[in-house]
Every structure is written in structure tokens, then in C-alpha cells.
Amino acid sequence: MCIFAFYMKETDLLQLVKQRLSIDALNDMQRSVLDIWKSGGRDLVLYSPTGTGKTLAFTLCLLQALKPPMRQLQAVVMAPSRELVMQTAQVMRAISANYKVTVCYGGHDVADEKASLSVTPDVIVATPGRLLDHCKRGHIDLKGTRLLVLDEMDKALELGFEDEMRRLIKQMPRINRRILASATVLEVVPEYVRLHNPAVVDVLEKVDQPATRIQMWHVPSPEKDKLDTLCQLLLSLDGGKAIVFVNYRESVDRIYQRLKKEKADVAIYHGALEQQQRECAVAMLGNGSINVLVATDLAARGLDIDTVEHIVHYHLPVNEEAYIHRNGRTARVDATGNAYVITAPGEHVPEWIMLGKAFEMNPSRRLVRAPMATLYFQAGKKEKLSRGDIMGFIANNGGVEPATIGRIDVRDHYALAAVPRDKAQDVLASLQSAKIKGRKVRISLLR
């Protein structure tokens, strides 16, 4: 029996989706998955393209199958990257009412995770390696787990998590329902998953693929060094958020320095950064404080950022899968987007790259500035701050209308709040002497 027979009607759940995720209605895939899940006790295999809303689909299924909160682990969601873990947890926490959702992933403070696990959560969302580490340390017991979600299973196998997943699933003997989600069809589902009479929902060919909603553009560079051409391209865009993909970390830093000289609102994203730096970069792109993110292919999977209008292939992707997943960062769900392929003289272009028509450069004098700026609060969830606390604090002390305050992200030990760029310095000055929840918190502008 689904929990909403006790707590919520499905209409109430969908109202939360509308209010907290700004999604007015489920798409056909999500509706189909939810209906199949509710119809019986079968496991579910979901094959759906990147950017079509798989996370929300399996989250709704999971919430329907949870029992009332009981300080007992009920469900585990495993994903192959920290970005996917954070994305899933964000969606789940937004609509999961009174359930405790704990995240565990590499780069996150182990002590904080241990403390969070000390009060047993209802749901754990984790990377396989970090979850196995907590099990070895005795921080969590998985035996009571009834529900299991394996997200991006194709990527998890590709990255070599098979041994960790096998060992973890062996510690969950009471699983009665499983969901396996993937952007590509698996030739063989590993036996240790123990799928039972699964219902397979395969919409890879049926849904409107993101590629059909992306306008492809070819941007020839007159020189082997593409940096000047990239700058001309970005200057030619009429605003909007852009992710520039490169193949090397050194190139990320070089492009970033050049764009800063052009007065661009830009941040970087690659594997050598600290986790908090990466989280902040993604949050700033999402809340409108930057409009250009320069990244390696680490950002090609797992990031779910609203309304990224432009994808730029500064370096040609190393394979077709990388090409598809880069482009998948735009045209999310039902939106449209643009992808630009920059080529150097004589550069070989694989046949799986669609160049599209030539993009006509029309550079403006300056890059369009991002409309927001981000306030950094040196306190977060562990210091008992919530989004509501920060919203009220800024509205009451910052001299700005509540409606102009942008997205607020609260992490374990810090928080970010977007405010209008043209008022950011004044807002910061007004907040410096004020107290939030009776105490002073260090606040600065994140740059």
C-alpha cells in the first residue's frame, strides 16, 4: 500500500511538484512510469534519454512505496557521481514531506555524514564507494532496506562500480522492489541486481529526443588556437547561460583567464577543484550570477541546471557518448537549445558530429552581464539555517523586495542566496551588522 493512503493524495504530491519544482504537469514518460509502478509489485526498468526527467519519475515511484517515517532505513538510491547524488537528493527533499534524506558521496565531509547517519534516515542517496565505506565503518546497517534505485546504471558499470554495487546489494536481503534507470539499453542486467519480473519502460525511441530540439551551429576558427573565436562567439550571443566544454583542465584555466579579461561573468568546473568550489560554480550558473561555465566532460553528466541555452564544443568530444551527453545539458525536458562546434583549420570532424549551418558572428562590445550576484553565508544546515531563515533575513534587513531575491541554496556548512547584481553591494553592507536567528554570520559576495 502506498504511503499516500495515510498521508497524502497523489494530487497533493503533484501540487508539491508544482510549487517546489515549478513543474506544472508530468510528462508522458513520468505519467506512464508512475501508473505502471502503482499497478503492482513488479520491479521497474526505465530507459529514457538524458534530460527527460528520469530523476523525478523514479523519485515519485519511491515516495509512493515508502511507509510512514519510522527512523528506519527504507530505501537506497545509488548513483555513479556526486553530481547525480546531489541532484537526486535535491528533488527528493523538495517533495518528500517529513522523510529524512541523507547523502553520502566522495568529497563530502565523512564526519558530517556519520553524524547524519547517527539518526537513521528513511532514504540514503549515495555513490557506491562512499556507501560501502560507511558500511565497513559500521555507520549504517542496510539489512532493512526494502527499496533500491540504481540510477545511471550504464554509467555506473562503465566507471567500474560493479564490485561495490554487488557487495552492497548483498547486504540488502529484504529488498522487495527495485528501479533501474538508464539512458542507454543494457544488453545484460547483472544477476546480482536480482530483478523480479520487471516492467520495462523504454522510451528511447518514442520521446522527443533532446537532439531534435537543439539547433546545431558550425563555428570555423581561422586559427588553430580557438580562443579568439570562442570570445567572438560568446560576444555574439544575445545573453543566456552557456557551458563551454573542453578536454583538458589546463584549457579550462586558460579560457577562464581570458574570459575574465573580457569582463565575463564566468566560473570553472573540473575534477581538480574542491567539491565546494564545484557546487558553488553550478549554483551560480543556476541562479543567474554567472552566464558562462567552462568545464571538462565531468559536467556532461549529472548536472541539471535550468535553462542552459548554449553548449559550446571548444574541443571536439573524444567520443560519440561524450558528444551526446554534452548536448544533453541543454534542451532539458521540453526546452530548446543551441550547440556550437568550433573547428580549427584541417581538424578532422567525426561523422557522428553534426556541424549544422555556419554561425554568423555579430560580436557586441561587451558580454551580456549576468543579472544576479551571490551572497555567501558561512553557515548552513548544520548551523540550523534554512531557506526561510535566509529569505526573511535578507528581506527584512537587506533593503530589497522579497520578490527580487533569487534562488537560495543551503548546504551543510554554507549557504548561497542570489540578489540583483545592481543592488548586491548595498544589500551586503546592510546585512553586515544584522543578526540571523540571534547571531552574527559572516557574509560575503561570491566571485
Give percent of the chain with pLDDT exceeding 70: 95
User: How would you label 333-362 residue by residue, b for 16+ Cβ within 10 Å and e otherwise?
Assistant: beeebbbbbbbeeeeeeeeebeebeebeee
| pLDDT of res. 96 | 85
Find residue 44's DSSP bridge partners: 179, 199
pLDDT tier at 410, thresholds 50, 70, 90: very high
AA letter at 258: R
- Provide DSSP, 351-380: TTS---EEP-----SSPPPPSEEEEEES--
- Do residues 117 and 102 touch, judged by C-beta distance below 8 A? yes
End-to-end CA distance of the chain: 49
- Do residues 244 and 329 touch, judged by C-beta distance below 8 A? no
Interval 214-249: pLDDT, tens: 899 999 999 999 999 999 999 999 889 999 999 999
Question: What nine digits make up the cell of 93?
Answer: 527533499
- Do residues 156 and 80 touch, judged by C-beta distance below 8 A? yes
- Do residues 16 and 295 touch, judged by C-beta distance below 8 A? no
Phi, psi of 359 (to 5 degrees): -85, 130
Pick left, alpha or beta for residue 78 (phi over 0 → left; psi -120 to 50 → alpha; otherwise beta): beta
Residue linked to cell 537513521: 120
User: Cα-atom radius of gyration of the chain, to the nearest Å?
Assistant: 22
pLDDT tier at 206, thresholds 50, 70, 90: low
Measured between alpha carbons, how far is 446 from 425 in angstroms, rounded to an integer? 11
Phi, psi of 169 (to 5 degrees): -65, -30
Question: What nine digits make up the cell of 409?
Answer: 541554496
pLDDT at 210 over 60: no
pLDDT at 4 over 80: no
| Alpha-carbon distance values, 132 to 22, 86, 143, 161, 180 (Å) | 35, 18, 13, 11, 19
pLDDT at 204 over 50: yes
pTM, full prediction: 0.74
pLDDT at 391 over 90: yes
CA dihedral 77→80→85→86, nearest 10 degrees, is -170
- Do residues 222 and 229 touch, judged by C-beta distance below 8 A? yes
Phi, psi of 274 (to 5 degrees): -65, 155
Measured between alpha carbons, how far is 279 from 28 in angstroms, rounded to an integer? 31
Measured between alpha carbons, how far is 255 from 391 in angstroms, rounded to an integer? 35
Alpha helices in 40-161 (DSSP H): 54-65, 82-95, 110-118, 128-137, 153-158
Maximum Cα interatomic distance, the chain, rounded to a whole number of Å: 66
| pLDDT of res. 211 | 58
The more confident residue out of 264 and 98 is: 264
Phi, psi of 309 (to 5 degrees): -85, -25
Interval 79-107: pLDDT, tens: 998 888 998 998 999 898 789 999 999 88
Residue linked to cell 553528466: 301
Find residue 277's DSSP bridge partners: none
- Do residues 29 and 203 touch, judged by C-beta distance below 8 A? yes
**Secondary structure (3-state) at 144:** coil
Question: What nine digits make up the cell of 144?
Answer: 532493512
Interval 322-348: pLDDT, tens: 898 899 888 776 678 999 999 999 999
Measured between alpha carbons, how far is 330 from 51 in angstroms, rounded to an integer? 8
Residue linked to cell 526546452: 335
How many helices and strands (H and E) does the chain possess?
A: 14, 18
Average pLDDT over residues 344-365: 89
Find residue 148's DSSP bridge partners: 76, 178
Sort 119 into a burial class: Cβ within 10 Å, 0-12 / 13-18 / 19+: exposed
